[in-house]
A and B are shown apart, each in its own frame.
Chain A
Amino acid sequence: MKLQPTLHRAWPVAAGLASFAVATALLFGHSTPSIPGFFWMLAKGAFGDGYAISETLVKATPTLWCALAVAVPAQLGLISVGAEGQMYAGAIAGGALVLFGPRESAWVLIPAMLACGAAGGAAWGAIAGWLRARFGITEIVVTMLQNFIAINVLEYLIHGPWMAPNSGNWPQTADFPAAVTLPPIVSGMRTHVGLFGGVAAALVLWFAVRRTKWGLAVRVLTGNPRVASQAGLSHFAYIVGAMAIGGALAGLGGICEASAIQGRLESTFLQGYGLSGYLVSWLAGHDFRWIVPISILMGAILTSADTLQLGAGLPASSAMILQGVLFACIVGWTSFAKRIR
């Protein structure tokens, strides 16, 4: 009997994955000699050796942070599509400190950089929350438009005032000092401790939603806002707060990526993670426990898409196509399951 609810949730996901396999085989199978060989190539690309696993986790890390940034506002029924812009805001704020702040030891600089990144993302997210809570402007449109603003602010900075003098007119900042590079999990691999941070954040959030008064208040606010205001809960504070926390998480993801992988700010270095994170959060039903494994799955898809590009000569947009097909398959089956229940 205990298994039944799990089964109810699991079968549409299984059906979705099966449909994903069929659709992927139809779309891309022709590029390899055999269809099983195609899937073998996908799997090997994502998990084939230490390097592949590391790359999968490298791609999973910002995806995970972005998914958390979507899932936190989603607890209140808010739909944020602005994780990518918030990542850039975090990367810019953290980068500003690293590039122009005082030279200190790593013990001071790394926490300060992370704090700046979180604050930048939080401020960027809070703008949308404030507009929503104060004026009722839909957060969907605001966060989407904020993405373009953040991306173009970065473009302006790296083409102009922040461009490294020795970059040969290449649009990028100077390299971050070595002291602020987040350490790798396994030395020699690119996977960095930002992944642990994301997993820890997911666990903390899961605990907060399940066991704390904050989680209770959120459930009351989504259940009936009028009752919540009678109980003295401030709708305004929770909306702005949830958007700011979401923004802070994305901001952390952005500055981690800049520090550990790029080592500087450059053009569109976070492109696509906002979308991936958004899809992960929705696939996980905004459940923090599911976000971690699904982020890793998404990282695997992104990594194997790179392999396809190299090994089977498929275009770079295959990654987007794979993500879209996966999302459509699973969401399609879950809504079908709800309908026939």
Chain B
Amino acid sequence: MVVELNRITKRFGEVLANDAIDIRIHSGEVLALLGENGAGKSTLMKILYGVHRPDDGEILIDGVPVRFGEPSDARSAGIGMVFQDFSLVQAMTVADNLMLASSRTGWWTGPGSRARGDAVRALMAAAPEGRPGSRVCDLAVGEQQLVELSRVLESHAQLIILDEPTSVLTPAEMERLYVRVRGFAAEGRAIVLITHKMDDVLACATRVCVLRHGRRVYDADMGTTSREQLVDHFIGDDALPDPLGAPLFGKARLEVRGLAGNREDERVGPIDFSLAPGEILGVAGVSGNSQQLLGGLLAGLVAPSQGEVLLDGESVHAGRFSRERIGFVPEQPRLNGVALNLDLATNLALKRIGTLPWLDPLRTDPRGAGDLLERFDVRPADPRLRAGTLSGGNLQKLVLARELGASCELVVACYPTMGLDLGATWFVHRQLHMQAAAGACVVWFSEDLDELLASTHRIAVLTKGRFAGMVRADQADRRQIGLWMAGAS
């Protein structure tokens, strides 16, 4: 199968997302579509998958022009896609979600049905530890993505599009995915890997295509290019993260004592630690170890069953504690961080809603919002735009702009760089370091151990809701951390 995209052009309002892009995709190759957030990678592939219709240009499969009105048209032409924002039904079980997507599902889907058996087999193939009976809303991000992956990988698609598939995976899961992707190419399928990570490209691509600002700027076989060449095309400026400053040691600013909490069947604690002003604690661990719950407890959003979180001696769970003192970056911003129906200015003002005037609450500073959007490089930086129109990476930046735009006393950041490109990742690191330099305590959840080792002072490993161990970042031993992650202490 050869898929050709010719002169594909797509506009969203005034933004030119795709500008006459030509791409050919052949069976048996892994094409990496590399570019920054908002470069137009996802848009291009959503056009191929029938989500968007192009304003201009054509799609040919094996030389025959095709027109996809809906994703189902693309699926029947043998094209499958795993999205960055998952399209799972949160209230249904994993098995139900898989059966929902399959065209082979008959009217009987109960125990013992063929559809259920197929679904469970598909899941086991992609994720041996997957639980088909769990409801999707109870799964962590990484687990949800495995369900998405198994759904498309097993659907007999001849061309599989993966949109930022590794951004939420642990290193081991990533390796498994790379092997799988290469395997599918060897079986004669075509894979398109949308990514902004050089590692993904180097690990499994056979060809790479770089997009910048909606244009194709570079296209090469992996054999004929180098990492340096790719970086040159991928990122123009040479932003680097600030080096990590030393914490302002002294009296503990954040004290967490015997903190425990539960939500449904999740349980956290008891957890004890304290942070000096300016200290950054990295919390490592495989997703699904109650990171969300711990983040909510520390940020004062979830009431603890036991223990307390004191910031400068005041409990963050007290009713009169000002929300503006804490910067909270939730995971999955589309779901947890923004009101998609409201404009960017409103979303930025949410944190200050308690102090806004009663009449015309948002009339005061439209310019401040615009500046903040520029500073955090949210594209497009138009305060009147609805948040729902932004791409995943830009939504993440929008949340960061709100939560880290002013200085806080405590920052709780859950996967703050997930889904961001290299330049934006460095920018986030710098923002967190600046918050710390100004005296804030920072608790930073991440699954990227390299990120934590390079940019935090201490690393704690969260396993089954408890800290399995804690170590200074400059003395950390990866093997020991790995053991803690696996639950051996």
State whether the Cβ of A271 lies closer than 8 Å to any Cβ in chain B: no
Evaluate contact between A220 and B361: CB separation under 8 angstroms. Answer: no
Q: In the complex, what's the smallest C-beta–C-beta distance from B397 to chain A, in angstroms?
A: 16
Given that A213-B353, A217-B353, A220-B346 are contacting pairs, would A227 and B337 also be in contact in the complex, using a CB cutoff of 8 Å? Answer: yes
What residue of chain B has the Cβ atom nearest to residue A226's Cβ? B336
Residues of A207-258 whose CB lies within 8 A of B? 211-214, 216-217, 219-220, 222-224, 226-233
Question: In the docked arrangement, what's the CA distance between A298 and B17, Å?
Answer: 49
Partner of B361, one of A213, A224, A229: A213
Within 434-468 of B, Cβ neighbours of A (below 8 Å) are at: none
B124 on the A face (CB < 8 A)? no
Give complex CA distance A57, B363 in Å: 38
On whether the beta carbons of A232 and B338 are closer than 8 Å, the reply is no
Task: Tell me whether A216 and B353 are in contact in the complex, defined as CB-CB below 8 angstroms, given that A211-B359, A230-B323, A230-B330 are known contacts.
Answer: yes
A207, chain B: closest CB distance, angstroms: 9
Query: Residue on B with the closest CB to A225?
Result: B339
Interface residues of B in 345-388 (CB under 8 A from A): 346, 350-351, 353-354, 356-362
Which A residue's beta carbon lies closest to that of B321?
A232
Q: Verify B341–A212 contact, CB threshold 8 A.
A: no
Contact indicator B346/A231 (Cβ below 8 Å): no
Given known contacts A211-B359, A213-B361, is B351 in contact with A231 (CB within 8 Å)? yes
We find that the number of chain A residues with CB closer than 8 angstroms to chain B is 19
For A233, the chain B residues whose CB sits under 8 A away are 353
Is B346 a contact partner of A216 (Cβ separation < 8 A)?
yes
- Interface 1/0s, chain A 83-115, versus B by CB < 8 A? 000000000000000000000000000000000
Report whether B336 and A227 are in contact in the complex, using a CB–CB cutoff of 8 Å: yes
> SS class of chain B's interface: helix, strand, loop or mixed?
loop
Task: Please name all residues of chain A whose beta carbon is closer than 8 Å to the beta carbon of B336 when the two chains form the complex.
Answer: 224, 226-227
Question: How many Å from the CB of A292 to the closest CB on chain B?
Answer: 23
Chain B contacts for A214, CB-based, 8 A: 358
B362 and A216 within 8 A (CB): yes
B484 at the interface (CB under 8 A from A): no
CB distance from B449 to the nearest CB of A (A): 28
Q: Does B328 contact A (CB under 8 A)?
A: yes
Q: State whether the Cβ of B301 lies closer than 8 Å to any Cβ in chain A.
A: yes
Asked whether A213 lies within 8 Å of B357 as measured between CB atoms, the reply is: yes
Contact of A219 with B354 at beta-carbon distance under 8 Å, contacts A211-B360, A230-B328 already known: no
B470 at the binding interface (Cβ < 8 Å): no
Known: A211-B359, A212-B358. A227 touches B301 (CB 8 A): no
A217 to B346 CA separation, bound complex (whole angstroms)? 10
Nearest residue in A to B388 (C-beta to C-beta)?
Answer: A223
B340 near A: Cβ within 8 Å? yes
Which of A212, A213, A227, A232 contacts B339 (CB under 8 A)? A227
In the bound complex, CA of A341 to CA of B356 (Å): 37
For the complex, what is the distance from the CA of A213 to the CA of B349, rounded to whole Å? 11
Q: How far, in Å, is B147 (CB) from chain A's closest CB?
A: 22
**Chain B residues with CB under 8 A of A230:** 299, 301, 323, 328, 330, 350-351
B350 touching A220 by the CB < 8 A rule? yes
Query: Is B179 an interface residue when CB atoms closer than 8 A count as contact?
Result: no
Contact of B61 with A by CB under 8 A: no
* Complex: A168 Cα to B361 Cα, angstroms: 59
B63 to chain A, nearest CB (A): 35
Residues of B within 8 A of A232 (CB): 323, 353-354
A219 touches B353 (CB 8 A): no
Give complex CA distance A211, B359 in Å. 6
Minimum Cβ distance to chain B for residue A231 (Å): 4
Contact B340 A224 (CB under 8 A): yes
A223 touches B339 (CB 8 A): yes
A106 to B181, CA, bound (A): 83
Per the bound structure, the CA–CA distance linking A212 and B356 in Å amounts to: 10
Which B residues touch A220, using CB under 8 A? 339, 342, 346, 350, 353
Q: How far is the CB of B360 from chain A (nearest CB, A)?
A: 6
Interface contact A224-B351, CB-CB below 8 Å: no
A165-B360 Cα distance, complex, nearest whole Å:
55
Q: Are B330 and A223 in contact (CB under 8 A)?
A: no
Chain A residues within an 8 Å CB radius of B358: 212-214
List the A side residues contacting B330 at CB < 8 Å.
226, 230
How distant is the Cα of A233 from the Cα of B351 in the complex, in angstroms? 10
- In the complex, which of the residues B301, B340, B350, B359 contacts A212, with contact meaning CB atoms closer than 8 Å? B359
Report the bound CA distance from A185 to B299 in whole Å: 57
Of chain A, the residue at the smallest CB distance from B324 is: A232
**By the criterion CB–CB under 8 Å, are B301 and A224 in contact?**
no
A233 to B353, CA, bound (A): 8
The answer to whether B353 touches A223, judged by C-beta atoms less than 8 angstroms apart, is: no
Do the beta carbons of B323 and A219 come within 8 Å of each other?
no
Contact A227 B346 (CB under 8 A): no
Q: Which of B328, B336, B337, B342 is the most central at the interface, judged by chain A CB atoms within 10 Å of its CB?
A: B342
Q: How far is the CA of A223 from the CA of B330 in the complex (A)?
A: 16
A231 CA to B342 CA in the complex, in Å? 15
| Minimum Cβ distance to chain A for residue B300 (Å) | 9
B267 to chain A minimum Cβ distance, whole angstroms, is: 21
Q: Which residue, of B299, B353, B359, B362, has the highest number of chain A Cβ atoms within 10 A? A: B353
Contact B350 A231 (CB under 8 A): yes
- How near does chain A come to B194, taking the closest CB pair, in angstroms? 26
Tell me the minimal C-beta distance from B111 to chain A in angstroms.
Answer: 29
Minimal beta-carbon separation of A133 from chain B (angstroms): 16
- Complex CA–CA separation, A223 to B339 (angstroms): 5
CA gap between A226 and B350 in the complex, in Å: 12
Which residues from 216 to 264 on chain B have a C-beta closer than 8 Å to any C-beta of chain A? none
Minimal Cβ-Cβ distance residue in B for A231: B350
| Chain B residues within 8 Å of A229, by CB | 301
Nearest B-chain residue to A213, judged by Cβ: B361
Decide: A223 and B361 in contact? CB cutoff 8 A: no
**Given contacts A216-B353, A232-B354, is CB(A223)–CB(B301) below 8 Å?**
no
Cα A227 to Cα B328 with chains together (Å): 10
Report if A227-B360 is in contact (Cβ < 8 Å); known contacts: A220-B342, A232-B323: no
**Alpha-carbon distance between A233 and B356 when the two chains are bound, in angstroms:** 13
**Chain A proximity mask over B320-340: 1 for CB below 8 Å, otherwise 0:** 000100001010000111111
Q: How far is the CB of B432 from chain A (nearest CB, A)?
A: 18
Asked if residues A213 and B342 are in contact (CB atoms below 8 Å), the reply is: no
A110 to chain B, nearest CB (A): 29
Docked CA distance A231–B324 (Å) = 8
Give the distance in Å from the alpha carbon of A217 to the alpha carbon of B353 in the complex: 8
Taking CB as reference atom, which chain A residue is nearest B339? A223
A-B CB proximity, top 4 nearest:
A223-B339, A232-B323, A224-B339, A213-B361
What are 7 contact pairs spanning A and B, CB under 8 A? A212-B358, A212-B361, A214-B358, A216-B346, A226-B330, A226-B335, A230-B323
Known contacts A213-B353, A231-B350; can you find 6 more A-B pairs with CB under 8 A?
A211-B360, A212-B358, A223-B342, A227-B339, A230-B301, A232-B354
